[in-house]
Amino acid sequence: MKTKLETRNSKREAISDVNEDAMFADDHDNALVGFVEHFKVGPVAVYDKSIVLRNLCERDGMSLEDAEEWFYYNILGSWVGNGTPAFITFLE
């Protein structure tokens, strides 16, 4: 049986249902993997960092070094409050 979150039209909609203040990374919906919960911080969108970097390289024509620099300064470094998205690195 599917939960309410699994039947939503989009991941953004499902995340917004659990935290109306959640924010999202522009142009990286393909990297959105779900949400993360943490003490004192509502559920926030979580993105696969490797897919975000791939987007920057393939879509925007950046080298990996430039993509990493852009990511750390302009994306990860953009704190806009408790709804700011998180980025995950999966370990193999």
Domain boundaries defined on the chain: 5-88
DSSP 8-state symbol, 55: H
* pLDDT of residue 19 exceeding 50: yes
* pLDDT of residue 8 exceeding 70: no
Strands (E), the chain: 32-38, 41-48, 86-88
Please write the tens of the pLDDT for every residue from 38-61. 888 889 999 999 999 999 999 999
When pLDDT is cut at 50, 70 and 90, the band that residue 9 belongs to is low
When pLDDT is cut at 50, 70 and 90, the band that residue 1 belongs to is very low
**What residues have CB less than 8 Å from 32, skipping those under 6 apart?**
11, 12, 24, 25, 45, 46, 47
> In 10 A of CB 32, how many CB atoms?
21
Phi and psi angles of residue 4, each rounded to the nearest 5 degrees, phi first: -55, -40
- Tokens representing 11 are 């991941």
Phi and psi angles of residue 64, each rounded to the nearest 5 degrees, phi first: -60, -40
